[in-house]
Structure 1
Amino acid sequence: MRSNSLRRSTLTALITLSAASVYYAQTVKDTVSKEADIEQVVLTGVADIAKDRKTPVAVSTIKEAQIIDKLGNQEFPEILNSTPSVYATKGGGGFGDSRINVRGFDQRNTAVMINGVPVNDMEGGSVYWSNWAGLSDVTSAMQVQRGLGSSKLAIASVGGTINILTRAADKKRQGNITLGLGNDGYNKALFSYNTGKSDTGWSTSFLMSRTAGSMYADGTEFEGYNYYFALGYRPSAKHDLQFTITGAPQVHNQRSFQSTIADHIKYGGTEENPNRKYNQNWGYLNGEEYSMTRNYYHKPVMSLNWDWKISDATTLNSVAYASFGRGGGTGDAGRINGKFYNTLPRTADGLVRFDDIVKWNQGGTVADFGAVNATPGISNSSNGIIRRSSINSHNWMGIITSLNHKINDNLSATVGFDGRTYKGIHYRIATDFLGNNSYTDTSNINNKPNIITNAFTTNPSWNPFGGKTNDIKDQLAYSNDGLVNWLGGFGQIEYTNDVLSAFVQGSVSNQAFQRVDYMLYAADQQKSEKVDLVGYNVKGGANYNINENHNVFVNGGYYERQPFFGAVFLNNRNDVNPSLTNEKITSFEIGYGFRSAIFNANLNVYHTGWDDIYRRLTTRAKINGVDVTGVANVLGIKEIHKGIELDFNVKPAKFVTINGMFSVGNWYFEGSPTASFIDDATNTVIQEGTLALDGLKVGDAAQLTAALGADFKLTEWLNFDAQYRYADKLYSAFEPSSRLVTAAKPTPSDPAVELPSFGLLDLGAGARFKLNNTQSFKFRVNVNNVLDTTYIAESRTNKAADANAANNWNGINKSNEVFFGFGRTWNASVSFIF
C-alpha cells in the first residue's frame, strides 16, 4: 500500500527547507542575469531566448556544464525533471524512446525547437528523441519556457516550448576526447574540436561520437552514432553566417508494449520485487538477441543562419533548413493458429520462442503451438508470422526570417515569415520472413494477392537523401504520402524601459494538407483533395521590476490551432473529415521573482483551457453475437490545466549551491461530449452515447512534483552533487471510449487509476586535474536511483484495485499494464581536454 505518512514527511522536509532558505536569503542583495553568457556560445539567430527580469514567461534554463556532468546515460529530456511541471520518463526504456510532458501536455503539444527551428513532426506533432540522440553532446543550453513561451512563430506550444541551443562554430579553440562506461554494457567514445575564430573571420566546430550497449530493460541492445559540423564566417561586423549539419544514425531494440504487473512478478520477479527489466517483445533466434520491435533511423538536419546588422537600429535574422529522415520501426505480421506472436506460449523466463516460430513456419511440429502449418513457407495475415517494418520517412525544408527594428530607445518592432514544406513517406516492408519464403498481402484496391519475397535490412542508411527505395510490389498493408505545406507570418511590438517590459505579439499560419495513397486507389484517384486550414494566435505580457530584488509579470493569449493530419483524413483513407475545426487554447499566468546575491526564487500561477480537442477513438460491441470494432472521430473534448510552480536556488556559502522546485497542478476534463462509433465495413453506427469525462483527472504525467538538490565544489578540482526528486498524483493513461455511457451501459468504467507516489535519489561526483593552462583530465561518475526504488513510471490501463488484496501490488491491480522505472544505474567517464 502507498505510504501517506512517507509522502507527507517528504513534502514537509522539502517545504521546510525551501521556507528556511527563503527566510535566510531575505537580507541579501541582487545578482546578475546570465542570459548574455548564453548568447555568446550558442546559435541564437531566430531563436527567442527568454531573458531574466524582462521576458514575462515562466522559464528554466539548463547550461552545458550541467548537461555534460549530470545527464550521463540518462535520456536527454530527463535533464529537465528538476524543473517545475515537467514529467519525463524513459517510456519503454529503449535507447531514445523517452517522452516528456510539460504542465500535463505531452510532447506532441509542446513545441520542441533547435536554435529556434521547430522539429515537431508536421503530420502528428511527434518528437522521436532517438532521432536526436546526439543532441546532448552539442547542446550549449536548453531552455524550457512553460506556457505561452516567447517564440513569435505560430507553433503548437500548448504546454510550453523547449528550445535547444547548440554550440556556435566560433566557440573558443578547444578539443575533447571522452570515454564512458555504464551499466548493462553501455559504452561511449567522443571526439570534438573547435578551431575558434581566425583573423579572417572563419571558424569551425566538429564532433563525432559512438554509443552502444544495452539499456536497463532486457532485450534492448543498441548502437548509435552522432556527428556535428559547424562552419562560421564573419566577413564584417554587419554579417555573421553559420552553417551546421548534425545527425544521429541509430538502431535499437525496443520494449514497445507494457506488460502486466503480474507478468513482471511471474517472469523473474517476486511479490516484493517485480522484475523491472522484463520485456515481452524479445527472445533468442539462433542463440542471438532478437526483438520483434526494432527501431532504426537517420535524420540529418542542416541549417544556414545569416544575421545581418543592416544598421544600428535594424537587423535581419534568417535561417534556411532541411531535414531528410529515413527509417522505421518493426513489428509483426501474421498469426499462428489465430494467435499473434506475443500471445503464443513462452519460455519459462517469459521470452518469445523465435526458434519455434521459425520451426512452425517451415512445417515443423511445435506441440503447444497447435495444428501443424498446412502451407509451410507460405505466410499471410492469418497463417505464419514474419517481421515487418513500418517506414516513416520524410523530406522537410523551411525558411524563417525575422526583421527587427528599434523605433526608439524604448520601442521596437519585429515582423517575420515562416515557410515550410513537408512530405511524409509511409509504407510497410518485410524485414525477416522467419523461415518463410514469402508473405501474401491483399491490402491493395482490388484485394489481389501480392506475393512478397524480398526482405530488407533494419539498419539505418548513412545516405538518407534518396526517395522511396522500394517498389509497390514489395510493400504490404499500406503505402501513402502525407503532404503538408505551411505558410506563416508573425509580428511583435515590444516596449522596454528601466523597470518595465511589455509586448503584444500575433501570428497567422495556413496549413495545406493532402494525402496520396498508392495502395487503395487507382492511379488517377491516388491524390486526395487539398485541405487548407488557417490558424492564428495573439498573446501579450508585461514584466515590472519593482526594485533590484522583486519583479512581477503577467501574460495571456489565445490560440486557434489546426488539427493534426490524422484528424483531416479519416480512417487512413483519402476521405476528408467533414467536421474539421481548430483546437482552441486560452492561457494566462502571473508570476513573481526574487533576486539577490545568494538567493533567487520564482513563483508562477497558471491556467490553460484546451477546447475542441480531436480524438479518434475505438470501441468494441457485440452485434448478433459477433465482436465488431467501431471508430468515432470525436470533437469537443476539453481539458483544463491549472497550477502553481515554485523554483529557487540559494548559495549559502561559496562552495555550495542548493536548488529546489515544487509544482502542483490540477489537470482535468471539463464537459462530456457525445460520440458515435461507426463500423468501417458497413458504415453503420454500432454504438453512440456520451463520454462521461467531466471532472476526471488527466493522466500520464505527475500532477505534483518536487525536487531538492545541492552542488558542492569541495576544492578547485573536486565536486559532488546530489538530487532528490519526488512525484505524486500520477494517474494512468486511459482511453476516453471506456467512459462511453449508452442505454446498455449506463455506468461508465472506472476513471484513471492513481499510481503510487515515488521519490528518487541521484548522486554524482567529478574531478578535474590541470596539466597546464590548456590541457586537463576530467573524471565523472553518476549513480541514478541510488536507493534502487521500485516504482511505476506510467500505466496504459486503469483497472481498479481488486477486492482481494492478493490480486493487487502496492494497491494497484496486477492486471494493469505498466512500465516500471529503471532501478539503480550508473555511468563513469574520463575526458582529456586540450
Structure 2
Amino acid sequence: MKNRILLLTLFVLSVFVQAQQKQVQQDSTEVERLDEVLLSATRAKDKTPVAFSNISKEELESTNLGQDLPILLDQMPSVVTTSDAGAGVGYTGIRVRGTDATRVNVTINGIPYNDAESQGTFWVNMPDFVSSVEDIQLQRGVGTSTNGSGAFGASLNIKTLQPSSSGYATTTNVIGSYGTRKHNLSLGSGLKNNFYAEARLSKIMSDGYIDRASSDLSSYYVEGGYLDDNTSLKAMVFGGKEKTYQSWYGTPEAVVKGDLQGIQDFIDRNYLSQSEADNLLNSGRTYNYYTYDNEVDNYEQTHYQLHFSHQFNKQFSANLSGNYTRGKGYFEQYKNDETVGDYFPNDLDADATGDAIRRRWLDNDFYAIVSSFNYKKEHLNLYVGGGYNKYDGDHFGELIWDSYPVTVPIRTNYYFSVGEKSDYNAYVKAEYTLNYSWFLFADVQYRHVDYKSDGLSSDLLPINVSEKYNFFNPKAGLTYTIDNYNSVYGSLAVANREPNRDDLTKNPVLPNPERLVDYELGYKLKTLKYYATANLYYMDYKDQLVLTGDLDNVGGPIRENVKDSYRAGVELQAGYKFSDKLRLDANATFSKNKIKAFDYVVYDTQYDPNTWETVAYEPVVTSYENTDISFSPNIIAGGTLRFTPLESLNLAFISKYVGKQYLDNTSSASKSMDAYFVNNFNASYKIQPKWIKEIAFNLLVNNIFDNEYVSNGYTYSYYYRPQGSNDDAITENFYYPQAKINFLLGMTLKF
C-alpha cells in the first residue's frame, strides 16, 4: 500500500512538472536564508573555533552511485570507512579520529539519528539517502552543542535538500560489479504560489563482494511545504527497508592470508563439521560463515519530520521541529545442536537437542522535539535551544522452526525486554565579534538522560536497569583574523556520555559515564588559488569504555572503564588550483592514541585430559602501560587530483592511505591490520541537448590497482589446555576483506 501511495505521488508530481508552462521565479537567496534558520544553532560557521569540513550535493553527485553514506565521506579528514560486504553496499561503518560510529553524533535536520540504546548508526536502513541531501557538515572533536547522544569524537550534521525554485524530474540508473544496481526517480514541483512538493523513490541491489552478502534495499523521500520571505513550513516522510544477508562473522586470518596449514589448524581447534570445513577451504577471501538460505537482517524504518522556521525581524528568528521514527525488524539465524533449554529452560525436556531457526526482533518508537531561537544584532549572535527525545523499544526473540524431538512453543517469545530512554538537553551559545578581528565563542549545554530496562536478555538473564545521568558540557573558544587570508583559533570543550544498553545490561559492575576534555588549536590560510589548514588536537578521556577481554556471565565480551586515555594529533589540509583545469586537494592526520594503564583479561580453561571435563576456568590478567587504542591508526591521509579538460568532462584520481590498526588495546602486532593504500578513479561527463536539461554519465572505478586489503576486524584470545599445561593462549583474528578492482557506471537524466 505504501509503495502505491508513493508511486501515485511521484506520478502526480511528474504530471505537474510537465504541465508547467513557466518556471516559478523566486529569489534563491531568500530560500537559502530561511533554510539556514533550521540548522544555524547547531552548525559551525567559517569563524567558529572548531575543526570541521563541509561537503555539498554537487561534490557528492559524481560518486553517489549506490554506496552507503559513510563510503561517500571517505575523503574527509581523519575518516576511515569500512564495509561488511566489501563493496560499500549493505552494512558500512565510519570512524573519525579512531572513534567509532557510536561516538559520532548524527543529526538529520537537527533531529537525532543515533540509535538511542546502542548509540550506533545504521545507514543500511536509509539507502540512497544522499540523493535527498543538500549538504553535510562533519565536526571533529566535541564540536558545538547539538541534539541527541553526546558527541565523543565527531558530529555529523546532515541537511536535506532545500526547496527548488523550479520544477524538475531526475532519474539515475547504475550498474556495477557484483551485481550492483541502483535506480531512482526524483521529482519536484518548484515553488508555485509559495508552495512546493518533492519526492524520491530508490531501489538498490547488490550481491556483495563477500559470498552471499547480498543487499535488497528500497527507500523513499516525500516532502511538501510552504515558503515565503519570512516563514518556512515543511513536512517530510522518508525511510527505507533493507533485507541484507548477514556477513557479520568475518573471515578467519588464515583464510585471508591463504595459509592452508593455518586453515586446517582453525578447523581442528574449532571442531568444524565437514560442510563447515569445506566452506572454509574452498571460499578464499570472500568466505562467509553463514550458509543458511535466509540468514538475513530484515528491518524497516520510517521517519516523519515537521519543521517550522520564522524570521520575525532582522534580529530574531526561531525554529521548531518535531519527529517520529518507527522501526521494526529482525535478524534470522539457523542454529545447530541447540538444546531446548537454550530457549525454554523450564521445559521438562530442556536437555533435548536439535536444530532451530530463530528470529531476534527490535520493535521501537522514537519521538523528538527540538527548538532554537536566534537573536542577531550588530556584533552579537545569540542562540538558545534544546530538545526532548523519548525512545520505547521492545527486544524479543522467537523460534520459527525446530527439529527437536519434543514440542516447543513456535512463534512464542522465548525472551522479552523493554528499553525506555528519555533525553533532554538545553544549550545557550553566544558569538561575538570584537574589533572585526576577534571572534569569541561560548557554549553551555545541560543534558539529562534517564534509561530503564527490564525483562529477559537474549541470553535469558534477568535485566533490571534504572539509571539517570546529568551532564554539564561547557565550551569556549576564539578566532583571530590576522588579515583577509589568515586566521588562527583555539577552543576548549567538555563532553560527557552515558554507557549504552549493553554496558548497562551485560556488565556485572555498573560502569561509570565517560568524560572528554577536548583541546583544539588551528590555523587557516585561504586565497583564491590555494588554501591550507592545520589543526592540533588533544582529546583527554576519563573513564573511557573499552573492551578489555573480560566476559559477562555467558561468555560475551563486555566493556570496562579505563581511567586515563587520550587522542592527540595534527590534521593538515591543503589545496592548490594550478589552473582552471587542474587542482589538487589533500589531507593527512598524524596522531597518537593511548591508554595510560590497561588490564587485559584472557580466560584460562583447563580440562582433565582423561575425561575432557573442565576442572578450572579463571581469568589471567596482564597489565599494560601506554598502549595503543584499537582501530586508531597513527596516519590517515587522502588526496584528490582533479582534471577538467573540458567544461563538460571531469576526471579525478582519488587516493586513501590508512596506517596500521590494532584489533584490541594490547598493541600486539599479531592482532593488527596492515596499513593499506587504495586508489580510485572517478569520471563524469555532462551534455545538454535541446530536448532535455542534462544527461550525465558517471564512472567510479574503485581500487584500480587491485589491492588485497582489510579495513576492519576483531579478535579474541583464550586458553584451552590440559590441566597443568603451560600451552600459550590461542588467538583468533577475523577480518573483513574489501573488494578488489570494481566499478560503478551510472547515467542521470535531468528534465
* TM-score interval (norm. to shorter): 0.7 to 0.9
Match of 2:410 in 1: 453
Percent of residue pairs identical = 19
Asked if residue 599 in structure 1 is aligned to residue 530 in structure 2, the reply is: yes
In structure 2, the partner of 1:222 is 215
Q: Distance in 2 between matches of 1:277 and 1:226?
A: 28
CA contact (8 A) 1:510 1:534 kept: yes
Match of 1:697 among 606, 619, 628: 628
- The answer (yes or no) to whether the contact 1:152–1:505 under 8 Å persists in 2 is no
Partner of 1:820: 737
Q: Does 1:651 align with 2:589?
A: no
Give the equivalent residue in structure 1 for 2:357. Answer: 387
1:793 paired with 2:718, answer: no
Q: Matched residues in 2 for 1:616 and 1:699: separation?
A: 9
Change (3 A) 1:50 1:657: farther
Q: TM-score, normalised by structure 2?
A: 0.82
Report deviation, 1:291.
4.8
Could you tell me how far 1:817 is from its partner in structure 2? 1.8
Which stretch of the first structure deviates more once superposed, 393-402 or 146-155?
146-155
Task: Tell me the distance in 2 between the aligned counterparts of 1:186 and 1:152.
Answer: 36
- Paired position in structure 2 for 1:248: 240
Cα 1:146–1:297, aligned 2, differ >3 Å: closer, same or farther?
same
Give distance in 2, aligned partners of 1:82 and 1:47: 25
2:381 is the counterpart of 1:412: yes
CA change 1:422–1:672 in 2 (3 A) is same
Q: Is 577-586 or 158-167 further displaced after alignment? A: 577-586
Which residue in the other structure is 1:830 paired with? Answer: 747
Deviation at 1:579, TM superposition (A): 4.5
How many angstroms does 1:616 deviate by?
Answer: 7.1
Residues 537, 558 of structure 1: 8 Å contact kept: yes
Cα shift at 1:332: 3.6
Match of 1:760 among 658, 675, 678: 678
**Match for 1:550 among 464, 472, 486?**
486
Matches within 5 A, 1:406-555: 406=376, 408-431=377-400, 433=401, 436=402, 451-454=408-411, 474-476=412-414, 478-497=415-434, 498-517=436-455, 528=464, 530-555=466-491
Distance 2:621 2:731 in 1: 29
Any conservation in 2 of the 1:54–1:543 contact (CA below 8 Å)? yes
- Residue in structure 1 matching 2:253, options 221, 246, 261: 261
Q: Which moved more, 1:783-792 or 1:152-161?
A: 152-161
TM-score using structure 1 length: 0.74
Give the letter aligned to residue 641 of structure 1.
R
- Tell me the distance in 2 between the aligned counterparts of 1:630 and 1:261: 21
SS of corresponding position for 1:82: coil
Shift of 1:379: 10
SS in 1 for 2:537: strand
Q: CA deviation at 1:331?
A: 2.5
- Go from structure 1 to structure 2 and tell me whether the alpha carbon gap of 1:51 and 1:43 turns closer, same or farther (over 3 Å shift): closer
CA contact (8 A) 1:134 1:248 kept: no
Q: 1:751-788 CA distances to partner (integer Å, 9 max, x unpaired)?
A: 77343222111012121111238622111111000111
Amino acid across the alignment from 1:661: N
Secondary structure of 2:255's counterpart equals helix
Instruction: Report the secondary structure of 1:279's partner residue.
Output: coil
Residue 17 of structure 2 aligns with which residue?
A: none
Contact 2:515–2:541 (CA under 8 A) maintained in structure 1: yes
What is the one-letter code of the residue matched to 1:260? Answer: P
Amino acid at match of 1:418: G
Aligned partner of 1:298 in structure 2 is 300
C-alpha deviation, 1:581, in angstroms: 3.1
* Contact preservation (8 Å) 1:753, 1:798: no
2:309 and 2:716 mapped to 1: Cα distance?
52
Letter of the aligned partner of 1:426 in structure 2?
Answer: H
What secondary structure does 2:625 align onto? Answer: coil
Q: CA deviation at 1:142?
A: 1.7
Q: CA deviation at 1:561?
A: 2.3
- Evaluate the alpha carbon distance shift between residue 570 and residue 648 of structure 1 in structure 2; reply closer, same or farther with a 3 A threshold: same
Q: Give me the whole-angstrom Cα distance separating, in 1, the residues matched to 2:536 and 2:634.
A: 14
Task: Say which structure is richer in strand.
Answer: 2
Name the count of aligned residue pairs: 675
Amino acid paired to 1:415: V
Aligned to 1:702, what secondary structure does the other structure show?
coil
Distance in 2, Cα, partners of 1:819 & 1:630: 21
Distance in 1 of aligned mates of 2:139 and 2:230: 30
Q: Per-residue deviation at 1:59?
A: 1.2
2:490 matches 1:559: no
Opposite residue 380 of structure 2, the aligned amino acid is L
Q: Residues of 1 paired with 2:238 and 2:499: CA distance?
A: 30
Report if the CA contact (8 A) 2:600-2:624 is conserved. Answer: no
1:620–1:730 CA distance, 2 compared to 1 (3 A): closer
Shift of 1:132: 2.2
Q: CA deviation at 1:73?
A: 3.8
Letter in 2 for 1:180: V
- Note if contact 1:657-1:712 (Cα within 8 Å) is conserved in structure 2: yes
How far apart in 1 are the matches of 2:222 and 2:351? Answer: 46
Map of 1:20-419 to 2, 5 A cutoff?
39=32, 45-46=38-39, 48=41, 50=43, 53-93=46-86, 95-153=89-147, 155-170=149-164, 172-198=166-192, 200-234=193-227, 236-264=228-256, 265=258, 275-282=284-291, 290-292=293-295, 294-335=296-337, 383-406=353-376, 408-419=377-388
Contact 2:550 2:602 in 1 (8 A): no
Give the Cα–Cα distance (whole angstroms) in 2 for the partners of residues 633 and 486 of structure 1. 23
Distance between the aligned counterparts of 2:67 and 2:458, measured in 1? Answer: 43
Deviation of 1:517 (Å):
1.3
What runs of 5+ residues in structure 1 fail to find an aligned partner? 1-34, 284-289, 341-377, 441-449, 455-473, 572-576, 622-626, 680-684, 740-748, 801-812
Query: Match for residue 460 of structure 1?
Result: none
CA gap 1:495/1:648 in 2 versus in 1, 3 angstroms: same
What's the secondary structure of 1:149's corresponding residue?
Answer: coil
CA distance in 2, matches of 1:337, 1:123: 30
TM-superposed deviation, 1:690: 5.8
The 8 Å contact of residues 46 and 318 in structure 1, kept in 2 or not, is answered as no
Q: Residues of 1 paired with 2:243 and 2:31: CA distance?
A: 33
2:642 paired with 1:711: yes
2:513 aligned partner: 582
**Counterpart AA for 2:410:** T
Distance 1:672 1:690, change over 3 A: farther
8 Å contact from structure 2 (residues 447, 471) kept in 1? yes
Q: What does residue 273 of structure 2 align with? A: none
Distance (Å, rounded) in 1 between the aligned partners of 2:502 and 2:731: 34
Query: Deviation at 1:598?
Result: 1.0
1:221-253 CA distance string (max 9 Å, x none): 22111100111112x433211111111111010
8 Å Cα contact 1:724/1:762 also seen in 2: yes
Give RMSD over aligned pairs: 3.7
Instruction: Give me the whole-angstrom Cα distance separating, in 1, the residues matched to 2:472 and 2:740.
Output: 45
Residue identity opposite 2:568 in structure 1 = K
Displacement of 1:405 in angstroms is: 1.6
Alignment of 1:743-782 (within 5 A): 750=668, 753-772=671-690, 775-782=693-700
Aligned residue for 2:71, secondary structure, equals helix
Letter in 1 for 2:237: I
Contact in 2 for aligned 1:154/1:508 (Cα 8 Å): no
Change (3 A) 1:765 1:393: same
- Code of the residue aligned with 1:318 in structure 2: it is L
* Deviation (angstroms), 1:636: 3.5
Counterpart of 1:429, as a letter, is: E
Alignment-derived partner of residue 363 in structure 1: none
AA of the residue aligned to 1:324 = R
Q: For residues 37 and 644 of structure 1, do their structure 2 counterparts lie closer, same or farther at Cα, with a shift above 3 Å needed?
A: farther
* 1:107 Cα deviation from its structure 2 partner: 0.7
SS of equivalent residue, structure 1 residue 589 = strand
Aligned counterparts of 2:119 and 2:203: Cα–Cα separation in 1: 28
